[in-house]
Amino acid sequence: MAVAKPRRFLLSSAMFIVLEGIDGTGKSTQSQLLAEWFRSQGRDVVTSREPTDGPWGKKLRQSAAAGRLSPEDELDYFLKDRSQHVAELITPSLAAGKVVILDRYYFSSMAYQGTRGFDPLEIRRRNEAFAPIPDQLFILDIDVDTALSRIGNRGDSANEFEQRESLQRCREIFLSLSDEPFAHVIDSRGSLEEVQAAIRESLG
């Protein structure tokens, strides 16, 4: 399968960055910190997340609390949500030379829907038929016990997407991407500042 070659960090070019990992790794916070860093350098930055707040994304978010959809419907909804996301935000923003930073992308589908019986590589193939490959993928990694502890400490409880056995398998799928030329595994056990420094250093 063809993969994108990582681009050198150029202030004048568009850049597509994705942060992934199981819940509790700090993806949302690190995405915002990274966006602020780029903006401080005068870059035009777009941040987003998946599932989105669009119609298909809302259905998926509701299912996380109310009870998961069937495996087939869940994957179908993610594909529809992502297709709209790519067409309406990701592709136009990159074409305009912006930095696009996503909190989750199709690698999460590989992990979370991969635990429901789908082949992660087939999920990847279906997504890359329409979804651009990121320039940089940051896999924020912690062990499952620490992740669940963090989820509890912020006042949440593990939802249907976050059961222990499922999370362990998701982590394994994320880590299987570590050999990709555009992927970086970041130890997210450190402080916010330490993790952010590691991400920026990896941009090179």
Closest CA to 140 of 15, 60, 57, 34: 34
Tell me the β-bridge partners of 141: 187
CA 138 to chain centre: 8
Instruction: Mark out the alpha helices in 67-99 (DSSP H runs).
Output: 71-85, 91-95
Tens of pLDDT along 50-93?
999 999 999 999 988 788 899 999 999 999 999 999 999 999 99
| Average pLDDT value for residue range 96-107 | 98
> Residue 7: is its pLDDT beyond 50?
no
Q: Give the CATH number, domain containing residue 117.
A: 3.40.50.300
What's at 198, amino acid-wise? A
Tell me, yes or no, whether 161 lies in a domain.
Answer: yes
Looking at residue 13, what is its pLDDT?
86
Q: Among 23-27, 142-146, 162-166, where is mean pLDDT lowest?
A: 162-166
Has residue 199 been placed in a domain? yes
What's the whole-number mean pLDDT along residues 5-19?
69
pLDDT tens digits along 127-148 = 999 999 999 999 999 999 888 8
Other residues' Cβ atoms within 10 Å of the Cβ of residue 190: 14
The answer to whether residue 33 sits within a structural domain is yes
pLDDT tier for residue 164 given thresholds of 50, 70 and 90: confident
Partners of residue 48 on adjacent β-strands: 102
Tokens at residue 99, please? 């930095």
Query: Could you give the C-alpha distances from 19 to 62, 80, 103, in angstroms and in order?
Result: 22, 20, 5
> Domain tally for the chain?
1
Q: Taking 70 as the threshold, does the pLDDT of residue 25 lie above it? A: yes
Q: Is residue 57, in this structure, part of any structural domain at all?
A: yes
* C-alpha–C-alpha distance, residues 204 and 198, integer Å: 10
pTM of the model: 0.88
| CA atoms 61, 21, 121, 95: torsion sign | positive
Q: Is residue 10 part of a domain?
A: no
Domain hosting residue 88, numbered range: 15-203
Q: How far apart are the first and last CA of the chain?
A: 26
Confidence of residue 155 (pLDDT cuts 50, 70, 90): low
The pLDDT tens digits of the residues spanning 178-189 come to 999 999 999 999
Give yes or no for residue 195 having a pLDDT over 60.
yes
Residue 3 domain-assigned (yes or no)? no
